[in-house]
Amino acid sequence: MLKRMLGNSGLEVSALGLGCMGMSMGYGPAPDKQEMITLIRQAFERGVTLFDTAELYGPYTNEELVGEALAPLKGKVAIATKFGLMSDNLRPVLDSSPDKIRQSVEGSLRRLGVETIDLYYQHRVDPNVPIEEVAGAIQELIAQGKIRHWGLSEADPATIRRAHAVQPLAAVQSEYSMMWRSPEAELLPALEELGIGFVPFSPLGKGFLTGTIDKNTVFDRADNRTLTSRFNAENLDHNQTLIELIRVIAAEKRATPAQIALAWVLAQKPWIVPIPGTRKLERLEENLGAAEVELTAADLNSLGEALSKIEVAGERYPSRVSDKLGN
């Protein structure tokens, strides 16, 4: 697995990371814990060194899972987790007060079984706490050796600049894929200017870009996608145009649709590290194969032109849930 540097931070990780949220929540009943521990270790054996979790996931149980799985690999991997967002019946509860941050980091350190968190994200921006106060609290935790690097998730460029001026950011997270390209307008140029890495979550469009989901797909009642208009039958049918485009390229490259979707994200910038999630070894191996797919400048230009003509239908989060809640 090739390595990539997250901006100017000095944090080098595998070109593809592993999003671990779905191992505990979000996509139906949680699978067997021991199977997920095995899968996380299999990811490391195949070259993955960035593993993404959060105190929200579970809540809390995902950090425990990741910590137990990676316990034998201390010093060989980078663990990213998050603070500042909890869920109350699908209603986002934001709290990034300095006291809460200090409380959260102690809980995450304990659950992960580590002395230092490699990458600590503010899960969502808290409008009630100036980002400078958040950055100041993080700066103290870095000085204490409890955090190595920090980042923001789904923050706007202005907030990123203010935070970065107090304590330089290593990475910013946002959804980004062939079906959600909004970061290209303002976010990516700002990150490039500031030397901050980008870690896209849902680079496979929550599974849609694998080409395995259509209007006849039935989701488990506990699957969050049942709440999102992007995944209703009408929009799934409409968005098959995007899948048809990807399948053409996949056939030319002798790759799968998922590999083309991930290779496209990887090809956008050398400091982008996608974190697709999965619960299955075969999907993990398929995803990692994307690092070997080469998309030429001509391929990217052709895809970009085609994508610009495709209007994706449906919202990425449930209408009754604020955009502050998600990965």
Model confidence over 141-177: pLDDT tens digits? 999 999 999 999 999 999 999 999 999 999 999 999 9
For residue 296, give its domain range: 3-307
> Does 202 fall in a domain?
yes
> Does 316 fall in a domain?
no
Q: Are 141 and 105 in contact (CB under 8 A)?
A: yes
Each residue's pLDDT expressed in tens, for the chain with a length of 327 residues:
899 999 999 999 999 999 999 999 999 999 999 999 999 999 999 999 999 999 999 999 999 999 999 999 999 999 999 999 987 776 789 999 999 999 999 999 999 999 999 999 999 999 999 999 999 999 999 999 999 999 999 999 999 999 999 999 999 999 999 999 999 999 999 999 999 999 999 999 999 999 999 999 999 999 999 999 999 999 999 999 999 999 999 999 999 999 999 999 999 999 999 999 999 999 999 999 999 999 999 999 999 999 999 999 999 988 654 443 456
Q: 256 CB contacts (<8 Å, ≥6 apart)?
A: 210, 211, 250, 286, 289
> Does 322 fall in a domain?
no
Instruction: Report how far residue 79's alpha carbon sits from residue 53's, in angstroms, rounded to the nearest whole number.
Output: 8
- pLDDT tens digits, 106-144: 999 999 999 999 999 999 999 999 999 999 999 999 999
> Does 320 fall in a domain?
no
Q: Is 57 a catalytic residue?
A: yes
> Does 315 fall in a domain?
no
> Does 270 fall in a domain?
yes
Q: Domain with 189 in it: what CATH number? A: 3.20.20.100
Token pair, residue 13, equals: 């990780």
Token pair, residue 227, equals: 């709440």
> Does 323 fall in a domain?
no
Task: Identify the active-site residue in 57, 121, 176, 317.
Answer: 57
Q: Say how many domains are in the chain.
A: 1
> Does 127 fall in a domain?
yes
